[in-house]
Structure 1
Amino acid sequence: MTPGKTDLTDIIEKLGQIGFSDQEARIYVALVQIGPATAYELGKQAKLAVPNTYNVMRSLTEKGAATQVSGQPARYIAVQPQQFLETTASRTTRICEELAGKMGSLSPEANDDYVEMLSSPAAIDKRILATIEDAQSQILLKATSPLPDRVHKALQAAAKRGVEILFVYYGDKPKLREGAKVRLWPHEGNGANIGPDFFLLCVDFKRALAREPSGLNGAYSENRSFVYLAGVFLRHELYLAEIMTKFEAEIEDTFGPALYKLRESYGMLAMEEDIRRFVESRLKRRPAQSVD
């Protein structure tokens, strides 16, 4: 079957993707079609000037794509495309593997001198998944539940690898099987959606990620200070959730629902509306108390 013009154009473009110049691709295609052939015949077939064709044939011979089969005048045949392309693929793979090993040693062990700004949901999701997949011993997480399906599956896979997962959640209880290494706490002991829902992640106390509530912007780093802040904050979140779960009644009697008395005393901003609504709903059970 003779390839059409569209097919030939596609072949030439793809040859360009594996390192052929446009002239090399056109002459190689011509050689496959009409070889054995002279440089003059190939130039005519490919609509290329003869002097250029000689240079191109020299290059194709060096690439291993063509072979000279006679001397006067010089005639050429194409190395069978399947053979040539398989050899090229094997050589390229070998070179890439060698480069990956050598260039990997050029990079510092940890990129701990910067904070990577993530400015799109796709970039944030990709970094979240990669960070979870790299986890070796522990994942600390605070997020709204249910999680996106891919994140949930990444956590399940981490749990199967034996990674400890400590998860403080807003909303519904995550559908993760709890056990010795998978522990779940509702935020502040009740899971109420109080305040901005930042997604916070700290893995192995070596890397951390924060995503703002809009989901449009985030930050990732292996910087020691950044990781320390995220890790300690998350640990205190789970400490508070543990304490509130066990002593909620006593703590509410002293500090009010959602610790609103502390929030009003030490918060730099006025108590947010979602917290106020939650507090008022709890205080309806005890009409003698007031938010004011």
Structure 2
Amino acid sequence: MAALAQPDNDTFMWFYEGADAIDRKTVDLIQAAGQRIWIKGPDALISPLLPELQAACERGVQVIIIGFGTGIQDLKRHPDMQVLPHEGDATVSRGATDVMLTMTTDFDGVLISTRVPGLAPSASYARNRSIIYVVQTLLLHEIYLAEMLTSMGDEIEGRFGKGLARLRKKYRPPGMEKHVLEGS
């Protein structure tokens, strides 16, 4: 029982509310990164972070961005920064993905922030190794998918539809993004 009463320092989830608190935590994580930063989100949420991401590249940190939006081509600010278009063309929008930023730094932390118009910006941060592993695996699969769609997009879309529409129809639950977009 004593072990249950004293959790390890990495078992907690922290919650941030408000743009200033989220921005401060995001920048702190980028500045502290020593090996890698993987980040996924719309260009509008990534653009304000570009000076810090560029500085991370200059420190030798691997920076991989999975981005979408019309300004994705403007995200690459350093020769070592890798920018991959989400799902091969960066134009796919799913509602919730337009307002979410997901970032992992090294193997130390994961931050997921949401900025829904009309709702207070919020974010969750975790240092739990299992949570970090799951999110990094999801981002790694996003990287794989972006690479595959960039090189084999016509063939994949021929089989599964534009934006993988047939797969989405088969597997995606209706209203999946509702809780994010409505804050419920």
Pick the TM interval, shorter chain.
0.7 to 0.9
**TM-score, structure 1 normalization:** 0.52
Does structure 2 conserve the Cα–Cα contact (< 8 Å) formed by 1:138 and 1:164? yes
Compute the displacement of 1:161 (Å). Answer: 0.4
**1:160-239 paired onto structure 2 within 5 Å:** 160-171=58-69, 172-173=71-72, 174-177=74-77, 179=79, 181-195=80-94, 196-197=96-97, 198-214=100-116, 216-239=121-144
Separation in 1 of the partners of 2:85 and 2:77? 15
**Larger fraction in strand:** 2
The answer for unaligned runs of 5 or more in structure 1 is: 1-109, 273-292
Corresponding residue of 1:240: 145
Give the number of the structure with larger relative contact order, counting CA–CA contacts within 8 Å between residues 6 or more apart. 2
**Higher mean C-alpha displacement, 145-154 vs 197-206:** 145-154
Residue 146 of structure 1 and its aligned partner are, at CA, apart by: 4.0
Q: Compared with structure 1, are the counterparts of its residues 140 and 207 closer, same or farther at alpha carbon in structure 2 (3 Å cutoff)?
A: same
- The percent of aligned pairs where both chains have the same amino acid is 31
- Structure 2 vs 1, CA of residues 266 and 149 (structure 1 numbering), >3 Å: closer, same or farther? closer
C-alpha displacement at 1:237, in angstroms? 0.7
Q: TM-score, normalised by structure 2?
A: 0.81
Q: Deviations over 1:175-217 (max 9, x none)?
A: 32453x4211111000014111210000102211001242611
Structure 1 SS opposite 2:91: coil
Deviations 1:47-66 (A, max 9, x none): xxxxxxxxxxxxxxxxxxxx
Query: In the superposition, relative to structure 1, how do residues 187 and 252 fare at CA in structure 2: closer, same or farther (>3 Å)?
Result: same
Point out the structure with max Rg over C-alpha: 1
Matched residue of 1:158: which SS? helix
> Hey, what's the Cα distance between the residues in 2 that align with 1:158 and 1:134?
9
Unaligned stretches of 5+ residues in structure 2: 1-7, 178-184
Aligned residues: 162
**Segments ≥4 residues shifted beyond 6 Å:** none
- What SS class does the counterpart of residue 166 from structure 2 fall into? helix
Post-superposition offset of 1:149: 5.7
Offset, 1:156? 0.9
Q: State the SS of the aligned residue for 2:154.
A: helix
Q: How far apart, in 1, do the equivalents of 2:48 and 2:91 lie? A: 24
Distance 1:186 1:136, change over 3 A: same
Structure-2 change in CA distance of 1:159 and 1:239 (3 Å): same
Q: Give the residue type in structure 1 aligned to 2:75.
A: K
